[in-house]
């Protein structure tokens, strides 16, 4: 199957008519009450429409473009100004006791921008800093002249007193070696713990980065996060039935994780193609039980008929020439 390259204008023009949301439009899921919009999350009017001015989230998970090399670069001050707008919009549609997680990049070739500037901006946001998590990618990038880059930064902020449920990894505890005397009884550390597995900390090394052979793969979505990472955040910082907000839907990972953990997701993307992918991924999960397209993508049918049309056209052209 051909790779879905969404930076290709011809492919985008082919797919656009198949996107059910135009900019400014919102889709309401009739089954579980999720909401998906197509629009700009820095636009307060659009966000009010998306959240219906009443849907308050206890948790937001935001994954903006990082403003680092290989993507389109803005001046860092301009980038932070736009972050300030979507942070304000997030804050306005969250409950008083809430958690806000933000994935953020750091350009090692450029004084780690925009991470330090973003952190400084957040100091005046009304949220308290809570944790600075690093997730390790399996595949890194870099040369023999530098440390291989494998980290993804995840900032956790809170306001009020939000839920926090301790999470455990799948990594078994293998270390024993210290004990405590409790009520006259000597117990090993592992005997006293709540799980046989290691507690999730602020360094995550147990989550597989998504690649095309994985079931959750969504072809065309290069920035997709692993469902396991988003489920970990949701399970830690919300309860069943809560609303989870995500302004940067892309492959719809937060929507999928919310569906699988019985939360409601309110999400949007500025790009109609990613808004459509988000809705299709939910429908695909419900129809097949799969949360992605292993080695495939959500527009396979459209691309097949488009490839067939161009083959037919080529045959016609060669017949005419002959
Ligand atoms: C890093 S990706 C998010 C990945 C997502 N967490 C996932 O797992 O698939 C960022 C997305 O934000 C969208 N985006 C960029 N600027 C936006 C804006 N101002 N409003 C809404 N979406 C935006 C992009 O189109 C892109 O799909």
Q: Domains in the chain and their CATH numbers? A: 9-161+207-321 (3.40.50.150), 164-201 (no CATH)
3-class SS letters over 7-56: CCHHHHHHHHHHCCCCCCCEEECCCCCCEEEECCCCCHHHHHHHHCCCCC
Angle, alpha carbons 47-129-114 (nearest 5°): 70
Q: Ligand 1: which residue has its CA nearest to atom 6?
A: 63
Torsion of CA 116, 121, 122, 124, to 10 degrees: 140
- The Cα 178–Cα 76 span in angstroms is 48
Q: How confident is the model at residue 322 (pLDDT cuts 50, 70, 90)?
A: very low
Tens of pLDDT along 105-150?
A: 999 999 999 999 999 999 999 999 999 999 999 888 877 899 999 9
Tens of pLDDT along 255-280?
A: 999 999 999 999 999 999 999 999 99
Q: Are 270 and 39 in contact (CB under 8 A)?
A: yes
- The Cα 263–Cα 59 span in angstroms is 10
- The Cα 187–Cα 178 span in angstroms is 9
Report how far ligand 1's centroid is from the alpha carbon of 91 (Å). Answer: 18
- Complete DSSP assignment for 117-132: HHHHHHTTSSPEEEEE
pLDDT over 90 for what percent of the chain? 79
More confident: 303 or 275: 275
Ligand 1 atom nearest the C-alpha of 61 is 6
- Our mutation pick for probing the ligand 1 site, out of 86, 270, 275, 297, counting the most ligand atoms within 8 A of Cβ, is 270
Q: Ligand 1: which residue has its CA nearest to atom 27?
A: 250
Evaluate if residue 10 carries a pLDDT over 50. Answer: yes
Q: Which helix (H) or strand (E) holds 245?
A: strand 243-246
Evaluate if residue 317 carries a pLDDT over 90. Answer: no
Angle, alpha carbons 283-284-286 (nearest 5°): 65
Q: What is the pTM of this model?
A: 0.92
Report how far ligand 1's centroid is from the alpha carbon of 65 (Å). Answer: 6
More confident: 11 or 140: 11
Q: Are 197 and 169 in contact (CB under 8 A)?
A: yes
- Our mutation pick for probing the ligand 1 site, out of 24, 51, 61, 65, counting the most ligand atoms within 8 A of Cβ, is 65
- The Cα 145–Cα 279 span in angstroms is 43
At residue 27, φ and ψ (nearest 5 deg) are -110, 130
Report how far ligand 1's centroid is from the alpha carbon of 248 (Å). Answer: 3
Tens of pLDDT along 184-220?
A: 888 776 676 788 899 999 999 999 999 999 999 999 9
Across the beta sheet with 128-141, the strand order is 26-28, 35-38, 264-269, 243-246, 57-62, 94-104, 149-159, 128-141, 203-204
Q: Ligand 1: which residue has its CA nearest to atom 18?
A: 40
- The Cα 45–Cα 231 span in angstroms is 29
Cβ < 6 Å from ligand 1: which residues?
40-42, 63, 65, 221, 223-225, 247-248, 250-251, 253, 268-271, 274
- Our mutation pick for probing the ligand 1 site, out of 79, 250, 259, counting the most ligand atoms within 8 A of Cβ, is 250
- The Cα 195–Cα 166 span in angstroms is 11
CA of residue 245 relative to chain centroid, distance: 11
Q: Ligand 1: which residue has its CA nearest to atom 7?
A: 224
- The Cα 102–Cα 93 span in angstroms is 16
- E strands, 63-167, where? 94-104, 128-141, 149-159
Ligand 1 atom nearest the C-alpha of 225 is 8
- The Cα 278–Cα 283 span in angstroms is 9
- Complete DSSP assignment for 202-221: SEE-S-PPP-TTSTT--TT-
Mean pLDDT of 62-79: 86
Three-class DSSP category at 116 = helix
């Amino acid at each position: 199957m051909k790779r879905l390259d969404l930076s290709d204008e011809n492919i985008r023009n082919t797919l656009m008519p198949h996107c059910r949301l135009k900019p400014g439009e919102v889709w309401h899921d009739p089954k579980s009450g999720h909401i998906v919009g197509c629009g700009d999350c820095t636009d307060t009017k659009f966000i009010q429409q998306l959240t219906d001015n009443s849907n308050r989230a206890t948790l937001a998970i935001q994954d903006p473009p990082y403003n680092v090399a290989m993507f389109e670069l803005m001046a860092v001050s301009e980038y932070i100004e736009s972050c300030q707008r979507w942070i304000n919009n997030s804050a306005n549609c969250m409950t008083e006791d809430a958690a806000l997680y933000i994935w953020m990049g750091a350009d090692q070739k450029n004084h780690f921008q925009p991470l330090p500037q973003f952190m400084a901006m957040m100091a005046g946001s009304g949220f308290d800093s809570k944790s600075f998590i690093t997730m390790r990618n399996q595949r890194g990038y870099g040369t023999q002249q530098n440390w291989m880059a494998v980290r993804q930064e995840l900032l956790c902020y809170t306001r009020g007193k939000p839920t926090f449920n301790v999470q455990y990894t799948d990594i078994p505890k293998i270390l024993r070696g210290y004990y405590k005397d409790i009520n006259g009884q000597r117990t090993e550390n592992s005997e006293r713990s709540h799980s046989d597995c290691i507690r999730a900390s602020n360094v995550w090394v147990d989550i597989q980065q998504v690649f095309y052979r994985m079931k959750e793969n969504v072809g065309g979505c290069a920035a997709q996060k692993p469902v396991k990472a988003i489920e970990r955040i949701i399970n830690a910082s919300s309860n069943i039935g809560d609303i989870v907000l995500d302004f940067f839907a892309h492959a719809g990972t937060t929507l999928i994780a919310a569906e699988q953990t019985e939360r409601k997701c309110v999400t949007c993307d500025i790009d109609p193609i990613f808004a459509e992918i988000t809705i299709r991924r939910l429908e695909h999960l419900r129809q097949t039980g799969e949360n992605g397209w292993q080695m495939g993508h959500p527009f396979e049918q459209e691309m097949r008929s488009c490839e067939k049309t161009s083959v037919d056209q080529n045959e016609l052209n060669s017949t005419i020439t002959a």
